[in-house]
């Protein structure tokens, strides 16, 4: 297994990843509260941890990646009431749309999406443990966590308990002993979904669902917890306080990873503020690979200030410069099955391809530095660009060497699409393209240029572009309007 360095928010240090039970890695990431359409800020966290899971798996770790779904909370109840929709059905609708967007973004590493309401028994058990151990108290049918009983509260975020005042993130409730105390179980209100409990009918608070789920799935301690930077306080502080007080074991998590926010004009992108850019619109207008590139072309801990009409346009232009050589190379690889060249790469260049992959792994293993990895890929793309006129003459092994860093990026970063050896569908497409190229060549030989143009035009309409190199012709996906 590769040595991996992680920046841990709690210790404020970059530390060597040492799983509790190697090679297993338990990874939990705070997921969606699907009360409305997702925006581009939500997807950054998903893409970042998709890369984390991809990389750890490639390096020999056995990753169990869990991302929860808060399918009932105040916002869902409010939105459901405003639209006369059952709040849990509303959550299901928006979560289905989210999963579709994740598939399009090639985010498929999550092993399990537990929904909060599927863990009501575990939630009630954990709340009861906290009450029994003196860390929580019941009042007016609700149960609250007594923050004063947990001295470490605030260590993750740097918040001081005595500085907390009632406000946007510290709810004002008459039943609480102190403003900083947070709800574990909320007493039922008329018309709201509710479940029976030892304290009366009610529903879970926001924080308790995550620790009930992780204790059930991972046990009292696990390896990595991820989420957005905005969740450090109060959400992740509450998770630490709940789990460690309930189980008596510490630390809850060995490594805390927090992702920088997507902002607009310096403010967090938020549905409540109305400063959002829809995820569906971004995918429809710019495509999944451009959006992935936008997120990954910065260190995951850094914020991204999003400018509609600019950010993704600039990302698209940069990605095109990076991806164009990869696409041409992929086309040459597909075409190589129908007539490969024989020229080999200089030994130094072939070795450089091996070194590039090794360096890419090293960069990513240093706290998942995708920004530097992409910079290294730009260097490689420049080298490949010098060989583009020669692709039709290169041997399959030479093409494979040039493609190795792109294959790495496909596996680790989810970019560039397939650039490796052809699969069965690629081989069928290559055979059809080869037959069409042969028919076109025969037409040109007999002087029937109208037929040659017709064949080329038909291929272009099907999304296949031909490129002539003297007496040979190669093809790649992506139509053009040339004829001949």
Model confidence band, residue 160 (pLDDT cutoffs 50, 70, 90): confident
Mean pLDDT of the chain: 90
Indicate whether 333 belongs to any domain.
no
- More reliable by pLDDT, 14 or 442: 14
The pLDDT assigned to 164 comes to 59
* CA proximity to 235, closest of 266, 205, 271: 205
Model confidence band, residue 482 (pLDDT cutoffs 50, 70, 90): very low
The pLDDT assigned to 417 comes to 73
Q: Which pair of structure tokens corresponds to residue 162?
A: 């005595």
pTM of structure = 0.84
Indicate whether 399 belongs to any domain.
no
Indicate whether 216 belongs to any domain.
yes
Indicate whether 279 belongs to any domain.
no
Rounded-to-10 torsion of CA 236, 237, 239, 242: -170
Model confidence band, residue 107 (pLDDT cutoffs 50, 70, 90): very high
Please provide the DSSP assignment of 396-423 as one string: HHHHHHHHHHHHHHHHHT--S---SS--
Instruction: Dump pLDDT digits (tens) for 311-365.
Output: 999 999 999 999 999 999 988 887 765 456 789 999 999 999 999 999 999 999 9
Once rounded to an integer, what is the mean pLDDT over residues 76-103?
95
Could you tell me the residue range of the domain that residue 434 belongs to?
A: 424-477
Over 80: is that where the pLDDT of 98 sits?
yes
212 phi/psi in degrees, rounded to 5:
-65, -40
Instruction: Please identify, among 241, 259, 277, the residue that sits at the C-terminal boundary of a domain.
Output: 259
- More reliable by pLDDT, 481 or 299: 299
Over 50: is that where the pLDDT of 483 sits?
no
Model confidence band, residue 450 (pLDDT cutoffs 50, 70, 90): confident
Indicate whether 154 belongs to any domain.
yes
CA-CA distance, 232 to 304, in Å (whole number)? 18
CA-CA distance, 352 to 422, in Å (whole number)? 23
Model confidence band, residue 441 (pLDDT cutoffs 50, 70, 90): confident
Instruction: Dump pLDDT digits (tens) for 10-26.
Output: 999 999 999 999 999 99
Instruction: Dump pLDDT digits (tens) for 171-228.
Output: 557 789 999 999 999 999 999 999 999 999 999 999 999 999 999 999 999 999 999 9
Indicate whether 52 belongs to any domain.
yes
Indicate whether 172 belongs to any domain.
yes
* CA proximity to 183, closest of 205, 211, 153: 205
Instruction: Please identify, among 259, 274, 297, the residue that sits at the C-terminal boundary of a domain.
Output: 259
Instruction: Please identify, among 230, 259, 288, the residue that sits at the C-terminal boundary of a domain.
Output: 259
Q: Which pair of structure tokens corresponds to residue 217?
A: 């799935």
Q: Which pair of structure tokens corresponds to residue 465?
A: 């572009």
- For the chain, the first-to-last Cα distance in angstroms comes to 53
CATH number at 146 reads 3.40.50.620
Q: How many domains is the chain built from?
A: 2
Indicate whether 410 belongs to any domain.
no
């Amino acid at each position: 297994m590769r040595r991996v360095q992680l920046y841990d928010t709690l210790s404020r240090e970059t530390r060597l990843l040492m799983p509790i039970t190697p090679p297993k890695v338990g990874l939990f990431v705070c997921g969606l509260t699907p009360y409305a359409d997702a925006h581009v800020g939500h997807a950054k966290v998903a893409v970042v941890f998709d890369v984390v899971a991809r990389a750890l798996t490639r390096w020999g770790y056995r990753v169990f990646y869990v991302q929860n779904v808060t399918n009932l909370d105040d916002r869902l109840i409010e939105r459901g009431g405003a639209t006369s929709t059952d709040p849990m059905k509303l959550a299901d609708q928006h979560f289905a749309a989210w999963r579709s967007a994740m598939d399009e973004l090639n985010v498929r590493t999550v092993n399990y999406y537990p929904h909060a309401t599927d863990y009501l028994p575990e939630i009630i058990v954990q709340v009861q443990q906290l009450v029994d151990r003196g860390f929580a108290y019941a009042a007016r049918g609700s149960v609250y966590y007594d923050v004063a009983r947990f001295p470490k509260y605030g260590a993750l975020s740097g918040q001081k308990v005595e500085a907390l005042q009632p406000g946007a993130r510290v709810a004002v409730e008459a039943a609480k002993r102190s403003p900083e105390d947070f709800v574990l179980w909320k007493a039922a209100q008329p018309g709201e979904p509710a479940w029976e409990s030892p304290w009366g009918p009610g529903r879970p608070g926001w924080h308790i669902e995550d620790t009930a789920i992780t204790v059930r799935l991972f046990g009292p301690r696990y390896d990595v917890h991820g989420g957005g930077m905005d969740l450090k306080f109060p959400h992740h502080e509450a998770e630490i306080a709940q789990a460690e007080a309930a189980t008596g074991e510490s630390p809850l998590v060995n490594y805390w990873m927090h992702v920088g926010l997507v902002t607009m004009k310096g403010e967090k992108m938020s549905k409540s503020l109305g400063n959002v850019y829809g995820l569906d619109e971004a995918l429809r207008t710019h495509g999944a690979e451009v959006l992935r590139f936008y997120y990954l072309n910065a260190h995951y801990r850094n914020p991204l200030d999003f400018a509609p009409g600019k950010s993704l346009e600039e990302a698209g232009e940069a990605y095109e410069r990076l991806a164009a050589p990869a696409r041409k190379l992929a086309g040459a690889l597909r075409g190589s099955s129908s007539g490969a060249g024989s020229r080999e790469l200089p030994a130094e260049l072939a070795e450089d391809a091996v070194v590039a992959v090794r360096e890419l792994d090293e960069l990513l293993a240093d706290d998942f530095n995708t920004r530097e990895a992409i910079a290294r890929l730009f260097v490689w793309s420049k080298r490949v660009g010098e060989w583009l006129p020669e692709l039709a003459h290169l041997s399959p092994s030479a093409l494979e060497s040039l493609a190795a860093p792109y294959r790495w990026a496909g596996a680790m970063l989810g970019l560039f699409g397939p650039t490796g050896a052809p699969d069965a569908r690629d081989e069928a497409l290559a055979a059809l393209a080869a037959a069409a190229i042969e028919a076109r060549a025969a037409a040109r030989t007999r002087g029937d240029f109208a037929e040659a143009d017709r064949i080329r035009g038909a291929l272009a309409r099907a999304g296949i572009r031909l490129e002539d190199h003297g007496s040979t012709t190669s093809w790649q996906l992506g139509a053009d309007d040339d004829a001949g």
